[in-house]
Structure 1
Amino acid sequence: MSLLSVQDMKTDIGQYAVLHGVSFEVPEGGVFVLLGRNGAGKTTTLRSIMGLWTPSPGSVVFNGQDITRMHTADIARKGIAYVPENMGIFGTLTVDENLILATESGRFDKARLARIHELFPALERFRDKQAWSLSGGQKQMLSVARAIIEPRALILIDEPTKGLAPSIVGAMAEAFREIAQTTTILLVEQNFNFARSLGRDMAVIDDGRVVHAGSMEAFAADTALQDKHLGLSA
């Protein structure tokens, strides 16, 4: 059974139809990557899964339960976290305060906090700094850390490498590999080299529809298919 099953998801934003019947299956474990050009519908797909926009018709089934029309807070309580493209951190709060705000109890689990500091050492060094003062890469690390401060079965992550230096991208890839050992990641990414280094399974969205799905290994080996769906040669 898939951990997440998205079937015929259609989402309108105002008067615009953005998704026209998106369907894919995310198996449990590892990293599943959604690829596609700008404006293809990738972010809308994540937001629809998370209940920020409601697909109609269509269904989203998580861990065997239909979550299609649940409120976002209830979806989060089921074990899904969302790391938006804009990172979603609070600039005037410290690193620790941002993490505490993401906990259910209002206090840290020491073991989980220690694990986060292993993954992202900068967050331990700057734990008393206000989030606005962090670098772009450190802000992204904080955003991901907020998503895993509580146990999660699935994390939706939108464009985590956008605007980051190559050295930070490499560190982020290592952290994602570690996280994926225990938590499934659904990753939206336009940096194909980053995506191919992490993804086990993948799907390509174009004009609000899934136009290709399969293993990342097979897709990465087929340059003609990449050029057809992503225009990588351009």
Structure 2
Amino acid sequence: MSVLSLRGLRTNIGQYAVLHDVSIEVPEGGVFVLLGRNGAGKTTTLRSIMGLWAPSPGSVFFRGRDISGMHTADIARLGLAFVPENMGIFGGLTVAENMVLATRNGQFDKGRLGYVQTLFPALKKFWDARAGSLSGGQKQMLAVARAIIEPRELILVDEPTKGLAPAIVDAMADAFAEIGQSTTILLVEQNFQFARRLGRDMAVIEDGRIVHAGSMADFAADAELQGQLLGLSA
């Protein structure tokens, strides 16, 4: 069963056509990875799903419900969360205050908070620190933690490893593997080693079109296809 279906998605930004007939089926559970070179349309796809940019024509279905044209806040209330590439944290607020803003009623479920702090121990350590004082990796942890402080059915994550040290990338991979046990993740990523470690299913987008889709295991075993679609041989 697909938790998310994109059908014939086209998105224009101003006078520029960015997505051209994008169709993807994201199955229930685990990590689905959307790969592609810079400027291929990965971020536009995520933003179109969340209603930040309106696709026209084309449809986005979440659990069989057409959410095309819905407001972003209404989409989020259905159980979707988005972690943008710029993380979107509030640097002048504390870690705790950033987390409170992501709750439904301004209060934490103690069990859920404990789960999140187990995934990201640094956030507990810096709970009362200003978010702007955190390292890049800690800010990324905070961004992901906000997305899951309430139970979600689908999380969209854009380039979570960009600019992070290898040790932080490893810690992030462990966290995503754990999250993926109970929540479907649609991951946009250019770090192929990170993507292949986590992904069960995948698709490659190029110039706003899906040019390949299948299992990550099959794609990871085909070095020629990786070179052709992602330039990894270089």
Name the TM-score, length of structure 2 as normaliser. 1.00
CA deviation digits over 1:121-170, x for unaligned, max 9? 00000000000000000000000000001110000000000000000000
Q: Which amino acid aligns with 2:217?
A: E
CA–CA distance in 2 between the matches of 1:223 and 1:154? Answer: 30
Counterpart residue number, 1:23 = 23
Alignment partners' CA distance in 2, 1:108 and 1:228: 47
Please give the residue correspondences for 1:207-226 in structure 2 after superposition, counting only pairs within 5 Å: 207-226=207-226
Instruction: Give 4+ residue runs of structure 1 displaced > 3 Å after superposition.
Output: none
- Amino acid of the structure 2 residue aligned with 1:96: A
Instruction: Give SS of 2:7's match.
Output: strand
Task: Measure the CA separation in 1 of the matches of 2:162 and 2:18.
Answer: 22
Percent of matched pairs sharing the same residue: 76
Q: What letter matches 1:50 in structure 2?
A: M
User: Tell me, what secondary structure is at the counterpart of 2:45?
Assistant: helix
Partner of 1:163: 163
Match of 2:79 in 1: 79
Alignment partner of 1:99 is 2:99: yes
Q: Tell me which amino acid in the other structure corresponds to 1:146.
A: R
Alignment partner of 1:11 is 2:11: yes
User: By how many angstroms is 1:233 displaced?
Assistant: 1.3
Residues 71-150 of structure 1: pairs in structure 2 closer than 5 A:
71-150=71-150
Task: Report the 3-state secondary structure (helix = DSSP H, G, I; strand = E; otherwise coil) of the residue aligned with 1:24.
Answer: strand
- Using the alignment, how far apart are the partners of 1:99 and 1:134 within structure 2? 14
- 1:64 deviates by 1.2
How big is the alpha-carbon RMSD for the aligned residues of Structure 1 and Structure 2? Answer: 0.4
Post-superposition offset of 1:196 = 0.1
Q: Which runs of 5+ in 1 are unaligned?
A: none
Residue deviations 1:28-76, cap 9 Å, x none?
Answer: 0000000000000000000000000000000000011000110000000
Q: Write the distance in 1 (CA, Å) between the matches of 2:44 and 2:70.
A: 16
TM-superposition CA deviations, 1:12-35 (whole Å, max 9, x none)? 000100001111100000000000
Q: What's the counterpart of residue 37 of structure 1?
A: 37
Which AA in structure 2 matches 1:4? L
Number of matched pairs: 234
Per the alignment, residue 181 of structure 2 pairs with 181
Q: Which amino acid aligns with 1:155?
A: I
- 1:15 is aligned with what amino acid? Q
2:206 alignment counterpart: 206
Amino acid at match of 1:131: A
TM-score, structure 1 normalization: 1.00
